[in-house]
Amino acid sequence: MLYIYLLYVARHHKQAMLKKLAQILLFGGMAATGNCNDLLKTEELKTRLTSMPALTQQQHKERRKYAVIINGDSSALHRGNVHEAYASLQALGFSDQETYILSTEPLRKNGITAHATAANIPLVLNHLEKRVDANDLLVLYTTGHGVLMRKETGLVLEDAIIAHKGIKKLVGKVKAQDYVCVSDQCYSGGLAKELSTLRGNVVAYASTDESHSTLCQSFARPFWESFRNGKADVNKDKKTTLDEAFEYAAAIHSAAADVGDEESNQAQAYRSKRYPQELR
């Protein structure tokens, strides 16, 4: 499996990316800037999640906002995407307590920040299955590296590859009212398509379709930054909607340089009949 995957990567990714992916798959992830010991391992994550205070009846009645950020790569590029997403979610009123970061660097002192592993993702989403109500908003953001093998798309974690269908199965257990899903890894359209069929009000954005690799930064950075800098606010009402952010980022992404036949910077959007317009 590893040998086949590395051959695939050699054909479809630039050499620098090949080196990074090989290190991820062979050594379980590269050393990130900062102290990785500050990232929660599986047993520590279990303890933290089970020790979180239960919501009160009043809190269950209120609309609450939750976010999960997943990144299995420790390069500065993808860590930077996580930083931008986190900064915008903070600016939009998402609490540290209900923003769960599964990535390769600590990033913050408060809240749950754990390794992006095959064991930790189900722990967080199973925790949210019990916590999230049918009047809540759930945001899922994935970045890092994606893979296409035998017509199946997936996300590369620190220690494994998780199929996009597997992510959908886990997220589908979380019964929110509104889902906002943003993905910018290669073949991210496969995840967006899967998540767009969740029950509820769904909008799912991806930096490419399910058949192509892509350049994530030209989509991720303008998308997330637009909620703080106002550049996507077309109607000048001082609110950036999700579609405004997407259209703004998609235009920049499409114009970004030098993609070949095996790459595509054509961002994708999938929406249910009713879907969330803002991150609130």
In a domain, 184, yes or no: yes
**Which positions ≥6 away from 99 have C-beta within 8 Å?**
66, 67, 69, 86, 89, 90, 111, 112
Rounded CA separation 121/101 (Å): 10
The parent domain of residue 191 ranges over 2-36+63-271
pLDDT band at 150 (very low <50, low <70, confident <90, very high): confident
Please choose, from the candidates 222, 225, 215, 195, the residue with its C-alpha nearest in 3D space to the C-alpha of residue 265: 215
DSSP designation for 37: G
Q: Which residue has the higher pLDDT, 133 or 36?
A: 133
In a domain, 169, yes or no: yes
Residue 18's identity, in one-letter code, is L
Q: What is the DSSP letter of 53?
A: P
pLDDT one-digit tens code per residue, 171-190: 999 999 999 999 999 999 99
49: in domain? no
* Cβ–Cβ under 8 Å, residues 147 and 156: yes
Give the span between the Cα atoms of 139 and 60, in whole angstroms: 18
Domain count, the chain: 1
**3-class state of residue 197 by DSSP:** coil
Joined tokens for residue 244? 């405004």
User: What's residue 37's pLDDT?
Assistant: 60
What number is the average pLDDT over the span 153-176? 97
Domain contains 41: no
CATH of the domain at 267: 3.40.50.1460
Is 50 inside any structural domain? no
Q: Residues 233, 236, 240, CA angle at the centre, nearest 5°? A: 30
The per-residue pLDDT for 263 is: 79
Question: pLDDT tens, 80-133?
Answer: 999 999 999 999 999 999 999 999 999 888 899 999 999 999 999 999 999 999
Residues 181 and 68: their CA atoms lie apart, in Å, by 10
pLDDT of res. 259 = 60
Residue 58 falls inside a structural domain: no
Give the up-direction half-sphere exposure of residue 95: CA atoms within 13 A in the CB hemisphere. 6
> What is the rounded CA–CA span in Å between residue 240 and residue 138?
18
pLDDT digits (tens, 9 = 90+) for 1-21: 333 333 333 334 444 344 444
